[in-house]
């Protein structure tokens, strides 16, 4: 192989290195020293509305930057069901009923999610979709960030995520042991409403040293998830029908 090709390969490998900061011990240290006894919430990354293919990421100084792709490790994920009696009005409030396991609802009406009439199709506004929003919370360790971020995956992206999980499961790959790239594409539901759909792509498996650094992080995230409730977002009222009715563009 020529020297030029060797240099190109080295550059490519550098670009693929994962700048991993998040690990359980570093987080415990930060929480005990800098944010002890403070009510800290993990940053939430929202999918944009209107079919945009760019993520809007807050930089922490009141500004935001647009990025085409997120690259990280999905250390944990779980159902995030939420029901609001009243339509979203811009106010950030807790749901009337929610579930972090997709099995039992907490609040009103509560009870078993599978048996709840609000968790049935055609129970939504004007008989479209579900009154209970079935999302999934993804906890992602991103490059250069100490704490994982939370992404609430809307109904329209659940099918693509399910297929991604299944594809990796068949190859005996756990999401917490691989680097995933997340991008967006424009899709339209049966009512002609455009939305942003998440696309998941496998990059590579983590190295042994990367796995060691991430060990224990899922336990921290699980504890966090048990104590936090999914809240409303501006795109919660987009009426989705069956996921398979979406049309990609």
List the domain range (segments joined by +) for residue 158: 3-248
Count how many domains the chain has. Answer: 1
**pLDDT recorded at residue 30:** 61
Query: Could you tell me how far CA 123 lies from the centroid of its own chain?
Result: 25
- Please name the residue that has the structure tokens 């490519």: 12
Instruction: Say whether 9 sits in a helix, a strand or coil.
Output: helix
**Which residues, listed in sequence order, are joined to residue 205 by a DSSP beta bridge?**
178
Q: 7-66, pLDDT tens digit by residue?
A: 444 334 444 667 776 666 666 666 555 544 545 677 888 888 788 888 887 665 666 778
**pLDDT recorded at residue 9:** 42
Taking 60 as the threshold, does the pLDDT of residue 119 lie above it? yes
Q: How far apart are CA 52 and CA 116, in angstroms?
A: 33
pTM equals 0.79
Taking 80 as the threshold, does the pLDDT of residue 95 lie above it? yes
Please state the length of the chain.
249
**pLDDT recorded at residue 62:** 61
Q: 184-217, pLDDT tens digit by residue?
A: 999 887 778 888 999 999 999 999 988 888 888 8
Tell me the angle at which helices 24-33 and 217-226 cross, rounded to the nearest 10 degrees: 50
Tokens of 71: 């690259």
Q: Which of the two residues, 228 and 186, has the higher pLDDT score?
A: 186
**pLDDT category, 92, cuts 50, 70, 90?**
low
**pLDDT recorded at residue 169:** 95
Q: What percent of the chain has pLDDT over 70?
A: 72
Query: Could you tell me how far CA 114 lies from the centroid of its own chain?
Result: 23
């Amino acid at each position: 192989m020529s020297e030029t090709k060797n240099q190109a390969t080295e550059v490519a490998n550098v670009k693929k290195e994962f700048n991993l900061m998040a690990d359980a011990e570093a987080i415990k240290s930060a929480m005990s020293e800098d944010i002890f006894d403070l009510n800290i919430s993990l940053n939430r990354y929202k999918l944009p509305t209107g079919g945009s293919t760019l993520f809007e990421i807050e930089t922490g100084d009141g500004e935001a930057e647009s990025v085409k792709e997120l690259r990280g490790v999905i250390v944990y994920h779980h159902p995030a069901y939420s029901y609001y009696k009243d339509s979203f009005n811009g106010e950030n409030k807790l749901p009337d009923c929610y579930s972090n396991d997709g099995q039992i609802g907490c609040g009103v009406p509560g009870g078993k999610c599978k048996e709840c009439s609000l968790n049935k199709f055609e129970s939504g506004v004007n008989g479209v979709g579900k009154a209970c929003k079935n999302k999934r919370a993804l906890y992602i360790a991103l490059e250069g960030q100490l704490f994982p971020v939370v992404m609430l995956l809307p109904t329209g992206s659940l099918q693509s995520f399910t297929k991604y999980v299944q594809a990796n499961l068949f190859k005996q790959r756990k999401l917490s042991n691989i680097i995933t790239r997340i991008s967006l594409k424009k899709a339209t539901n049966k009512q002609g409403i455009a939305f942003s759909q998440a696309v998941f792509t496998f990059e590579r498996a983590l190295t042994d040293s990367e796995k060691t650094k991430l060990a224990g992080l899922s336990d921290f995230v699980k504890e966090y998830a048990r104590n936090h409730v999914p809240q409303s977002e501006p795109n919660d009222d987009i009426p989705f029908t069956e996921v398979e009715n979406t049309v990609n563009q």
